[in-house]
Chain A
Amino acid sequence: MTLSAPDQTTLPNDLVALVRDKALWIRRRSFQMVYEAQLGHPGGDFSSADILAALYFGVLRFDATKPNDPARDRFVMSKGHCTGAFYSVLAAAGYFPEVELTTYMQPLSRLNGHPNRNYLPGVETNTGPLGHGLPVATGIAIAGQMDDADFRTFVLTGDGELQEGSNWEAALTAGHRKLENLTLIVDRNRLQQGARTEDTASLDPLDDKWRAFGWHVESIDGHDHGQLLEVLNTSPKGRGKPLCIIANTFKGKGVSFMHDNVAWHHGVPNQAQYEQAMAELV
């Protein structure tokens, strides 16, 4: 089977609806994982759920039965702590059986708190410590550039994560080498583990920073499936710059008591909270 883009005969409205359905499923499934494990990072799972659904069901070219196909588009999950959402989307995309999600963080499970490529198909590089995804993705994109290959490389970082200096090393290199095959998506939920990013080590004006490093910048609503699909599927060819998408999001998006609430970075629900969240996630 050759790799193909998402079915182009699908009406755009249908694709948007598909991504919306998948994003909802990711939220529900990941929250169940976090509830059962009593561990996880649900706030970031929810801020990134729409981005992941758009990527895996409307953008990335891959064959889940051939996770090492050289022609595949690459996706690097730099915010490796958000495995609730990441494992959910990988299962939904067919990389492993959905039933395995019940083993999340259990002893000997392949579904570690942070992803491991040696156990789990679909994981490109082991992340967890922050600021690792973009530099590795930059290397992948350089390999593609050397070979004039057709694949694209996408990487999703948190925003607090951008406080790690390694990102800015890679930003320099990617800008210098004009890696138009590289797309960074920043999950700009404005909350890091302990506080707001702007109250900790402020990132704004974030778009100007990336432009100054030689990147093309798009700022979108990171929960708008139509915007995500449009900006992610616009061909980067000829641009001569790597692309940074600042996806403006909310931590805990989708559940009222978690919305924009720093307590849900790695908060875990009790039974009442779980039931309320599931009632809202419909």
Chain B
Amino acid sequence: MSAAAPDRAGLFDCRDSFAATIESLAEHDSRVVTVVSDSLGSSKLGGFKKRWPERMVNVGIAEQTLVAVGAGLANGGKVPFVSAASCFITGRAMEQVKADIAYSNVNVKLIGQSSGVAYGELGPTHHSIEDMAWLRLFNNLTLIVPADPWQTEQAIRAAAAMDGPVFVRISRMPVPALERNNARFEIGKAEILAEGADAAIIANGTMVHRAVAAAKILASEGISARVVNLATVNPLDEAAILAAADTGAIVTVEEHSVRGGLGGAVAEVVTANTPVPMRIMGFPGFVPTGSAEWLMEHFGLTETGIADAVRQTIARKR
């Protein structure tokens, strides 16, 4: 189980879950090593370094080498977890992610930390709202965006257990532990958190608990909305998306640009099979300065904003 503890509001930082899981894996598998680019603290890997200093490689502020060294370590038989701020491990090292990791199809686990707008006030250079769109183009790169501490642990364990390249997109935004009746994680399988027939909300990452809350608001009005946690963006659970389309209306929600991310992935499946009215919620592009919470409010990425979008999308049903 995750050793991550909630804060006073009962919320969790998924990086704690990541760090605890990595340490647990490292205890049982000497091949597990970590690679950072002066990103030890922001990856919460201080505990790992204390226990296994010889199994941590800090390449300095050099993301291209960060990712490439991961590929080399895999060649040498290691299971490297390569961890840095998502904005830099993707944007700065994208060609290494493409050529050295994805195209070379190596057993490297890339961890994008503090994704989305977690670094809100620092501005768009530090936001990572393009990463899902960039990464999901690599057809053999498994891409997971966990929603809470339990799913973060499951994603890290599943990444370690499979042979091949994986990217796990982790947030530092505090999130609650989701309530589940049948907790089970499988790469490529969406999780249905609420059943519903009037519309479907498909979300991942920090947006999932907001989607669940939105569905509760809608339920009080007699609208039944299915909530789909689409944590795995690649490979995509097309069956779950087509089942969502059967409701006749889909709202996608992501802490990401509205261009080419989760919503784009869902739309590709829906339009090719059973076109239904859709609304893609996220950020329009570079966003103004503000805290992460302020940005989410400003762009309607709240339980009330999502509920509004669902009502509007249902109204567009033919």
Contact = CB atoms under 8 A, between A and B. Distances in A.
Interface residues of A, number: 33
A146 interface: yes
12 contacts: A70-B77, A116-B103, A132-B95, A135-B100, A136-B75, A139-B72, A140-B75, A142-B57, A143-B75, A166-B64, A170-B69, A172-B60
B71 A143 contact: no
A130 to B, nearest CB: 10
A138 B72 contact: yes
- Interchain residue pairs A-B with the least CB separation, the first 5: A139-B72, A143-B76, A135-B68, A139-B69, A169-B62
Contacts of B103: 116, 126
A contact face: mostly helix, strand, loop, or mixed? helix
Contact of A138 (B33, B68, B106): B68
Contacts of B179: none
Contacts of A30: none
Interface of B: 33, 54-55, 57, 59-60, 62, 64-65, 68-78, 80, 95-96, 99-100, 103-106
A125 B104 contact: yes
B contact face: mostly helix, strand, loop, or mixed? helix
B33 to A, nearest CB: 7
A169 B104 contact: no
B76 A173 contact: no
A138 B33 CA distance: 15
A268 interface: no
A128 B99 contact: yes
Interface string A121-151: 0001111110110011111111110110100
B100 A142 contact: no
Contacts of B55: 146
A118 interface: yes
Nearest to B80: A139
Interface of A: 70, 74, 116-118, 124-129, 131-132, 135-144, 146-147, 149, 165-166, 169-170, 172-173, 176
Contacts of B60: 169, 172-173, 176
Nearest to A127: B99
Contacts of B77: 70, 143, 147
B78 to A, nearest CB: 5
A169 B59 contact: yes
B100 A125 contact: yes
Contacts of B69: 135-136, 138-139, 142, 170, 173
Contacts of A127: 99
B72 A173 contact: no
Given A139-B73, A140-B72, A169-B65, 11 more contacts: A117-B105, A118-B105, A132-B100, A135-B68, A135-B69, A139-B75, A142-B69, A146-B76, A165-B64, A170-B68, A172-B60
Contacts of B68: 132, 135-136, 138-139, 166, 170
A141 B99 contact: no
Contacts of B104: 117-118, 125-126
Nearest to B82: A139
A63 to B, nearest CB: 17
Contact of A125 (B62, B75, B95): B75
Nearest to B106: A125
Contacts of B100: 125-126, 132, 135-136
Nearest to B105: A118
Contacts of A136: 68-69, 71-72, 75, 100
B96 A135 contact: yes
Contact of A137 (B72, B80, B95, B106): B72
A36 to B, nearest CB: 26
A141 B60 CA distance: 17
A125 B57 contact: no
